Amino acid sequence: MTDALWTIGAGVAGLSVIALLGGILLQYASKGFSVDGNPLVNSIDALLPQTQCGQCGHPGCKPYAEAIAGGEPINRCPPGGQDTVDRLASLLGVDILPLDADDATTEQDLVAIIIEKDCIGCTKCIQACPVDAIVGAAKLMHTVIVDECTGCDLCVEPCPVDCIDMIPRPKSPDYWMPTRPNIISSDRCGQIGIQHG
């Protein structure tokens, strides 16, 4: 009987000692290693397309980066496309999720253009633009600086006269891309958009 008590006592005591020591150590460690802010946010932000479109439900890319760092799903960025999801998954070491978007057309690179003859100069689009890419003053015609436009289409909704269109981003007249060399038959066909052949 005493043996059993002794054993139990020893066990309780032993574990208590271990727990106490461990607790003290971790208490000091958590103080010594406390972190301010989350540097991870910048790494995530660097992978986002910076359209600032708000389709993820956050007002801009940086806030979404903060949300991802806080554990939000990585597939909420339609302009970035599946590619961005893959990169985020790779960076964060999480599973790749399918893109959470309505249609596939979101990946197209668009810019806003103001039909200048219809513009009434209400400045509503200027206030909506997250990157200050629309210039103009009240009662005067507005114009989109194409190079700065991210194609977020946040300016389309506020326009009272529907004079803003989204068009494919204009390319330099001497832009060209070499054709893809033929690839011998491969199981990667789907992956790179080449037909079996």
Partner 1 sequence: MAALHLLGGDQLTDLLLIIVSAALVNNFVLIQFLGLCPFMGVSSRIDSALGMSFATTFVLTLSSVVAYLLQTLLLIPLDAMWLRTLAFIVAIAVAVQFTELALKKTSPLLHSVLGIYLPLITTNCAVLGVALLNTNRAHTLAESAFYGIGAALGFSLVLILFAGVRERLQLADIPAPFRGASIALITAGFMALAFMGFTGMIRL
Partner 2 sequence: MADYQIRRCERQLEGGIHPETQKALSTTDSCIFVGDPKRLVFPIHFSGGGPGEALVAVADIVSQGTPIIKCQSGITHVASRAGKVIDIIDHEIAHPAATKSASIIIEPSGLEDQNYLDPLVWPFDADTLRNRAIEAGILGLGGAGFPSFKKWSEGMQTLIINGAECQPYLTTDDTLMRIDTHSMIRGASMLSQSLDIKTIIIGIEDNKPEVLEAIESALKESCSDCFFDVVLLDTKYPSGSERHLVWLTLGIEVPTGSHAVESGVIVHNPGTLAALSRAIDGKPITDRIVTLTGEALAAPQNIVVPIGAPISHLIEATDTNPESLTSITIGGPMMGYSVTNFTAGITKTTNCLLAREVDIPPESPCIRCGACATVCPVRLQPQQMVFALKGGSLDRAIHEGLTDCIECAACNAVCPSHIPLAEWFRLGRFEARDKANDQRLAAKARERFEARNMRLKRISLEKEAKRAVRQAKTADALEKARKARKESA
Partner 3 sequence: MIKRPNYPPMDTQIVMCTVLIALVPGVIAMTLFFGVGVLLNLATAIPAALAAEAICLGLRQRPILPRLNDLSAVLTGALIALSLPQAAPWWLIILASTSSIMLGKHLYGGLGQNPVNPAMLGYALMLISAPVTMTTLWIDPLATPDLSTAWLAYLGQSSDAVTGATMLDLYRTEFRALTAAEASQNPLFTQAHLGFIYGYEWVALAYLVGGLWLIYQRVITWHTPMGLLVTLTVVSAFFSFDPDTATPVWIHLTAGAGIFAAFFILTDPVSGATSPKGRLWFAIGVGILTYLIRTYGLYPDAIAFAVLLMNFAVPMIDQYTRPRIMGRGSSIRGSGGQS
Residues that bind partner 1 (CB under 8 A): 6-7, 10-11, 13-15, 17-19, 21-22, 25-26, 29-30, 33-35, 38-40, 43, 69, 90-94, 186-188
Nearer to partner 3, 117 or 196 (CB): 196
We find the least distance from the C-beta atom of residue 11 to partner 2, in angstroms, to be 55
Q: Phi then psi for 179, rounded to 5 degrees?
A: -75, 150
Residue 37 near residue 69 (C-beta atoms within 8 A) = no
Stretch that binds partner 2, among 14-22, 56-64, 100-108, 116-124 (CB under 8 A): 56-64
The one among 30, 34, 179, 195 contacting partner 2 by CB under 8 A: 179
For partner 3, the binding residues (CB under 8 A) are 86-87, 90, 185-187, 196
We find the least distance from the C-beta atom of residue 192 to partner 2, in angstroms, to be 5
Length of the chain: 197
We find the least distance from the C-beta atom of residue 29 to partner 1, in angstroms, to be 5
The answer to whether the Cα torsion of 177, 179, 184, 189 is positive or negative is positive
Q: Phi then psi for 110, rounded to 5 degrees?
A: -115, 160
Nearer to partner 3, 156 or 194 (CB): 194
Residues near 158 by Cβ (< 8 Å), separated by ≥ 6? 124, 125, 127, 128
Could you tell me which of 157, 126, 158 has the C-alpha nearest to residue 141?
Answer: 126
We find the least distance from the C-beta atom of residue 15 to partner 1, in angstroms, to be 7
Surface-to-core class of residue 90, CB atoms within 10 Å of its CB (0-12 exposed, 13-18 middle, 19+ buried) = exposed
CA dist 81 and 93 (Å) reads 18
Q: Quick check: 148 binds partner 2 (CB under 8 A)?
A: yes
We find the least distance from the C-beta atom of residue 28 to partner 1, in angstroms, to be 10
Residues that bind partner 2 (CB under 8 A): 45, 48-52, 60-62, 130-133, 147-148, 150, 172-174, 176-184, 186, 188, 191-192
